[in-house]
């Protein structure tokens, strides 16, 4: 029997192993949130009858998605509390005050996932949401996970998710003006990440 040279054997082994391992490594992909294409909107009842909409204009974060092993995925996001924008400067000042977000005490709203699992059309993400200095565990279903190259031909791959979440502001210690401003806050997220 013809003997295989040792050097060739090692090269072949390395090539074989890298071939086996690389799909696993490639499956967990990290994306940095693109602030221009990521949106954080919310709505809250006024006087119990109408929905008033607002958004946070400044945020940052990242997510890692492992399509083969959703449990290995993670999401992280920080939002600048002072960037709240409801289209009314005076109201925004009030929302930044100790009556609501108290941005000079708690300048950031944060979310950090603690568990991710597969869900229909996306992921079910559980994590710690910190608002007004108080942390609660919440679960949000993120739909999507589609990818696209944008700008076309740039090689810049993007992945996006959308989700909605309802919280009670009183759970986060914001209990003032309950009559005029509702307790339940609907949060709408549109996340677009750029592959790193």
Q: Residues in the site for another protein, rule: CB under 8 A?
A: 46-47, 52, 58, 78, 80-83, 88, 90-91, 93-94, 96-99, 102, 104-108, 132-134, 173, 175-178, 180-181
Distance in Å, CB of 131 to another protein, minimum: 12
Distance in Å, CB of 114 to another protein, minimum: 20
In the complex with another protein, the residue whose CB is nearer, 67 or 94, is 94
In the complex with another protein, the residue whose CB is nearer, 18 or 175, is 175
Distance in Å, CB of 170 to another protein, minimum: 9
In the complex with another protein, the residue whose CB is nearer, 46 or 117, is 46
In the complex with another protein, the residue whose CB is nearer, 71 or 173, is 173
The bridge status of strand 74-80 relative to strand 122-131 is unpaired
Distance in Å, CB of 79 to another protein, minimum: 8
In the complex with another protein, the residue whose CB is nearer, 24 or 180, is 180
Distance in Å, CB of 78 to another protein, minimum: 6
């Amino acid at each position: 029997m013809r003997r295989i040279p040792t050097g060739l054997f090692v090269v072949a082994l390395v090539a074989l192993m890298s071939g086996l391992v690389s799909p696993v490594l490639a499956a967990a992909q990290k994306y940095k949130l693109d602030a221009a294409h990521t949106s954080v909107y919310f709505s809250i009842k006024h006087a119990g009858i109408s929905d008033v909409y607002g958004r946070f204009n400044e945020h940052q974060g990242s997510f890692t998605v492992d399509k083969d092993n959703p449990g290995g995925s993670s999401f992280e996001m920080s939002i600048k509390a002072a960037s709240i924008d409801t289209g009314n400067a005076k109201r925004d000042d009030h929302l930044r005050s100790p009556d609501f977000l108290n941005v000079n005490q708690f300048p950031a709203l944060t979310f950090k996932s603690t568990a991710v699992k597969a869900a229909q059309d996306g992921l079910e993400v559980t994590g710690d949401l910190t608002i007004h200095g108080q942390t609660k565990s919440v679960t949000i279903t993120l739909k999507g996970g589609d990818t696209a190259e944008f700008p076309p031909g740039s090689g810049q791959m993007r992945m996006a998710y959308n989700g909605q979440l309802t919280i009670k502001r009183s759970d986060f210690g914001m209990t003032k003006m309950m009559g005029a401003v509702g307790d339940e806050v609907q949060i709408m997220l549109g996340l677009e990440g750029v592959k790193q």
